[in-house]
């Protein structure tokens, strides 16, 4: 006899379920019952309905697909302030002439306005968890306020607090803005630990130590960041080998390739999460795989900044955990459906092999592997998992016919097709609208903050209504 579930908080019914649980990957006309923050039952709609008692709210999801919430494993929400600016620049000038001056000028009020809209963008487009590598400004109050803003919108994740510490040789070579290196190593660690105590590992939004880039952060400070992550049972985060010149700088400063150096300094563990990891040789891939470290692939950003294409197959085969990210609204928007599609297309082109990925693999990267990185029971739909899932409407003309719906999810679906979002058992988006915040006010506040910061950062020269198309014709 099937056990009854008393007092069901939410019942989502009538959808086809793409569970990412290999025991039962697809359930047609299924239902999910939520009790508290957990999936209490999942299965064919009639079976689940027969078990549920005292249902507080039923949501009819006929014509939609329910899947685990998408996990944006690397972004910079404050960068929304510079949305549409910095086009036509490669990474080094992009950082030196646009992003770092912007970052150095951002105050708490600007940052929070941007974070709230970025988090709202994420929630509305089906992203249920975000790792926000927040590095401007990084005082304790703002760092915690970023976490609170995300929680107010209702999403899960982490504020990976950007740590700079003292300026080192790599930072000078990278032309980093000195104003970001304003705290001593001791202060960086104290602020991060204070934030970790306020938002511990069991919080909806955690705090992670995030020495910003392996090429321009002091070695001891990176080691202390890992220790802090272990002590508080969270992951830690950094940028690594995004561009070829970073690797060249690393080799010239340390005499070793980045991953060999990280390995020799005890920095590769299963809590280690690196954004990018594009320029890796075979030995580096093996070391990352052996350590079960996470590499976050940011396919749209990597195209935008012409950084390169990740070696997806070799990294997965070596045993590394590969998650997907957007890497900031200023370069890639916040639509994880777009990230899945781009990741797939890029690999096909890199390998000249259309069999090198699949829609199913992309969903795993975007959901399950992100969950593994968060060290949370999310990214899969099964009894006992945390209730983080989305319902996607496939009835629009641009999605029909959806004969093999799993391919719709990675080819034609847009974030705006998401109609319901549940995070931690809470129904945070209903019929495409936030149930948590005033959307119009969040948008207006972010526009206002963006205008102010463009003036303050002295980057008004980047604001041009139109530039001559001729300047892009010259081949190098
Ligand atoms: Zn980044």
What is the arithmetic mean of pLDDT over 211-216?
Answer: 96
> What's the pLDDT at 98?
92
Residue entry with tokens 């991060």 = 192
Tell me which H or E stretch contains 450. helix 439-456
Tens-place pLDDT, residues 273-283: 999 999 999 99
Confidence class for position 179, pLDDT limits 50, 70, 90: confident
- For the chain, the domains span 10-68+380-434, 70-374
Contact 99, 154 (CB under 8 A): no
Distance 238 CA to ligand 1 centre (A): 8
- In this structure, the number of other CB atoms found within 10 A of the CB of residue 392 comes to 25
Contact 340, 366 (CB under 8 A): yes
Q: Please tell me whether the overall predicted TM-score, pTM, comes out greater than 0.85 for this model.
A: yes
Lowest mean pLDDT, pick from 24-33, 366-375, 461-470: 461-470
Distance 232 CA to ligand 1 centre (A): 23
Distance 95 CA to ligand 1 centre (A): 11
**pLDDT of 249 strictly over 60:** yes
> What's the pLDDT at 470?
75
Lowest mean pLDDT, pick from 24-28, 121-125, 173-177, 389-393: 173-177
Please tell me the distance from the alpha carbon of residue 52 to that of residue 72, in angstroms, as a whole number.
33
Tens-place pLDDT, residues 291-342: 999 999 999 999 998 999 999 999 999 999 999 999 988 877 889 999 999 9
Confidence class for position 177, pLDDT limits 50, 70, 90: confident
Please tell me the distance from the alpha carbon of residue 55 to that of residue 101, in angstroms, as a whole number.
53
Q: Which of 81, 7, 122, 9 is nearest to 426 (CA)?
A: 9
What is the arithmetic mean of pLDDT over 387-393?
Answer: 98
Distance 202 CA to ligand 1 centre (A): 25
DSSP structure string for 88-114: T--HHHHIIIIIHHHHHH--HHHHHHH
CATH topology (fold) of 70-374:
TIM Barrel (3.20.20)
- Mean predicted lDDT score pLDDT of the chain: 95
Distance 79 CA to ligand 1 centre (A): 10
DSSP structure string for 352-410: T-TTS--HHHHHIIIIIHHHHHHTSS-SS--TTSB--EEEEE--SGGG---TTHHHHHH
Tens-place pLDDT, residues 429-472: 999 999 999 999 999 999 999 999 999 999 999 998 888 887 76
Distance 325 CA to ligand 1 centre (A): 9
> What's the pLDDT at 135?
92
Distance 117 CA to ligand 1 centre (A): 18
> What's the pLDDT at 473?
66
Lowest mean pLDDT, pick from 243-252, 284-293, 379-388, 461-470: 461-470
> What's the pLDDT at 96?
85
Confidence class for position 176, pLDDT limits 50, 70, 90: confident
What is the arithmetic mean of pLDDT over 249-276?
Answer: 98
Distance 298 CA to ligand 1 centre (A): 8
> What's the pLDDT at 476?
54
Distance 132 CA to ligand 1 centre (A): 9
Phi, psi of 105 (to 5 degrees): -100, -10
Tens-place pLDDT, residues 110-166: 999 999 999 999 999 999 999 999 998 999 999 999 999 999 999 999 999 999 999
Confidence class for position 100, pLDDT limits 50, 70, 90: confident
> What's the pLDDT at 1?
57
Q: Which of 393, 391, 341 is nearest to 366 (CA)?
A: 341
Question: Which overall architecture, per CATH, does domain 10-68+380-434 show?
Answer: Roll (2.30)
């Amino acid at each position: 006899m099937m056990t009854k579930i008393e007092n069901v908080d939410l019942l989502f019914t009538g959808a086809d379920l793409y569970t990412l649980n290999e025991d039962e990957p697809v359930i047609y006309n299924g239902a999910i019952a939520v009790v508290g923050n957990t999936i209490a039952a999942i299965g064919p709609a009639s079976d689940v309905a027969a078990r549920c008692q005292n249902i507080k709210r039923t949501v009819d999801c006929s014509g939609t697909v329910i899947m685990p919430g998408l996990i944006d494993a690397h972004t910079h929400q404050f960068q929304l302030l510079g949305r549409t600016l910095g086009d036509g620049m490669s990474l080094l000038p992009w950082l030196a002439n646009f992003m770092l001056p912007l970052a150095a000028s951002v105050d708490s009020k600007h940052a929070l306005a941007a974070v709230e809209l970025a988090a709202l963008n994420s929630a509305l487009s089906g992203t249920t968890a975000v790792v926000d590598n927040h590095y401007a400004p990084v005082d304790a109050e703002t760092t915690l306020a970023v976490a609170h803003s995300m929680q107010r919108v209702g999403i899960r994740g982490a504020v990976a607090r950007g740590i700079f510490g003292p300026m080192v040789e790599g930072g000078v070579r990278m032309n980093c803005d000195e104003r970001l290196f304003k705290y001593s190593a001791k202060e960086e660690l104290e602020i991060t630990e204070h934030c970790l105590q306020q938002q511990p590992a069991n919080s909806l939004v955690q705090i992670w130590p995030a020495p910003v880039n392996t090429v321009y952060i002091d070695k001891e400070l990176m080691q202390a960041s890992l220790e802090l992550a272990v002590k508080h049972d969270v992951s830690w985060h950094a940028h690594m080998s995004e561009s070829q010149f970073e690797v060249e700088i690393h080799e010239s400063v340390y005499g070793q390739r980045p991953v060999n150096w990280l390995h020799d300094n005890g920095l590769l563990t299963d809590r280690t999460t690196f954004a990018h990891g594009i320029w890796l040789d075979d030995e580096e891939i093996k070391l990352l795989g052996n350590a079960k470290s996470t590499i976050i692939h940011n396919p749209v950003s990597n195209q935008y900044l012409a950084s390169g294409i990740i070696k997806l197959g070799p990294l997965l085969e070596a045993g590394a955990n590969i998650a997907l990210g957007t890497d900031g609204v200023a370069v890639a928007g916040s639509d994880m459906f777009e990230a899945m599609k781009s990741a797939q297309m890029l690999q096909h082109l890199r390998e000249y092999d259309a069999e090198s990925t699949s829609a199913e693999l992309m969903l795993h990267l975007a959901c399950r592997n992100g969950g593994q990185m968060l060290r949370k029971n999310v990214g899969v739909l099964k009894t006992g998992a945390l209730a983080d899932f989305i319902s996607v409407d496939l009835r629009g003309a641009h999605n029909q016919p959806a004969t093999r719906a799993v391919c719709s999810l990675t080819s034609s679906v847009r974030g705006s097709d998401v109609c319901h979002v549940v995070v931690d058992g809470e129904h945070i988006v209903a019929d495409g609208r936030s149930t948590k915040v005033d959307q119009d006010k969040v948008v207006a506040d972010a526009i206002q903050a963006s205008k102010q910061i463009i003036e303050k950062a002295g980057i008004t020269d980047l604001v041009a209504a139109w530039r001559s198309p001729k300047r892009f014709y010259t081949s190098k």
